Structure 1
């Protein structure tokens, strides 16, 4: 193996996803992931703390996108509008390249493993906390910021599943708008 390999992180993620899909998350080792990617275990650990983190690699980007969208929004907008815009901004991450198929495979693996489901809930909780903080920094009082953020995370979860399974392959922001319109219709019949 050469000392430096291009796109090592991406190759490790693809190898892990393929192996998890073939044999199940629990039965795959870091050594096998590295070997499938044509890399060493040492290279794996330069990129990921453990084999679980391959599936949660984008969490920091999600959080950053949410908080930046809130920070960039004009002052005076209602908290739920800020949250809707922030959740819709995630579309830029999801629509890039072939993310939908990667996300489908990833979600199928997470859905089969209780430990990964727990890690997914931790990720969502952290996103909610970051969104709450961003709203508060945008002069939304804490109780309202927390409520709006938690509603936003619920909409995100529902929309993400819809996006994965959408037969029309509609863009993520379009599905976010539809979910918030559905929510508005439920709260203002």
Structure 2
């Protein structure tokens, strides 16, 4: 096994998602994932504590980019304008592999209650990162929390649409369109 080849982390994620889709999450072992990725089991554990964590590979970086975008938004930006800046910044880290992974990941999550739970926790983590960044800008608590939740939902919806689209547009345009739709929907609540 060529454990010295670059891209082991990415190969592990792709192998896991494929195996989760093919045979189910519960039936997939760490050994199978490592073998499919062409690495050793110890290499797997250098990158991930367990197979469940494969689902949130990159979450810390994504949360950091969302928060950085919000922090660096212009001083006069509204909370949702700051969230839009965060979505644009985070979208910059999403490339072709992320796009390709979307539909496969969606299928794997849909087939496993444990992965659905982990996906919800990921959403909470993204919303929390945005809420904290907004609060640091002086946005009041309930407003920061609502804007953070809308941002996390916009990212989720934008990512789903982007990963299924046939165009070459980047994720940012899909995430920002989803944020605009959510803003309009929240205004219609009365």
- Both structures adopt the same fold (TM-score exceeding 0.5): yes
C-alpha distance in 1, partners of 2:2/2:90?
A: 36
Q: Deviations along 1:65-88, whole A, 9 cap, x unmatched?
A: 101101111212111111122123
Alignment-derived partner of residue 104 in structure 1: 103
Q: Which moved more, 1:133-142 or 1:7-16?
A: 7-16
Aligned equivalents of 1:29, 1:117: Cα separation in 2 = 18
Equivalent-residue separation in structure 2 for 1:2 and 1:101 (angstroms): 24
1:169 Cα shift? 4.9
- Residue in 2 that maps onto 1:92: 92
Equivalence for 1:4: 4
Shift of 1:143: 1.9
**Take 1:18 and 1:46, find their aligned partners in 2: how far apart are those partners?**
21
| Structure 2 unaligned spans of 5+ | none
Query: Measured at CA, do residues 10 and 168 of structure 1 come closer, stay the same or move farther in structure 2, by a change above 3 Å?
Result: closer
Match of 2:175 in 1: 176
Deviations 1:134-175 (A, max 9, x none): 011112122211111112222222222222222435322112
Q: Does 1:37 align with 2:37?
A: yes
Instruction: Return the offset for 1:122.
Output: 0.7
Range with greater deviation from structure 2 (124-133 or 153-162): 153-162
Kindly tell me: are residues 3 and 60 of structure 1, through their superposed partners in 2, closer, same or farther at Cα, counting changes over 3 Å? closer
Which 5+ residue runs of structure 1 have no aligned equivalent? none
Tell me if structure 1 keeps the 8 A contact 2:69–2:90.
Answer: no
For residue 163 of structure 2, what is the aligned residue in structure 1?
164
CA separation in 1, counterparts of 2:28 and 2:135?
42
CA contact (8 A) 2:70 2:86 kept: yes
How far does residue 93 in structure 1 lie from its aligned partner after superposition?
1.9
The match for 2:119 is 120
Q: CA deviation at 1:124?
A: 0.7
The two structures have a TM-score, normalised by structure 1, of: 0.89
| Contact kept in structure 1, 2:154 and 2:176, CA below 8 Å | no
Give me the whole-angstrom Cα distance separating, in 1, the residues matched to 2:10 and 2:158. Answer: 25
Q: 2:93 is paired with a residue of what secondary structure?
A: helix
Distance 2:102 2:166 in 1: 15
* TM superposition shift of 1:36: 2.0
CA RMSD of aligned residues (A): 2.1
Kept in 1, the 8 Å contact 2:2–2:38? The answer is no
* TM-score, with structure 2 as normaliser: 0.88
Tell me how far 1:184 sits from its aligned partner: 4.2
How many Å separate the matches in 2 of 1:99 and 1:106? 10
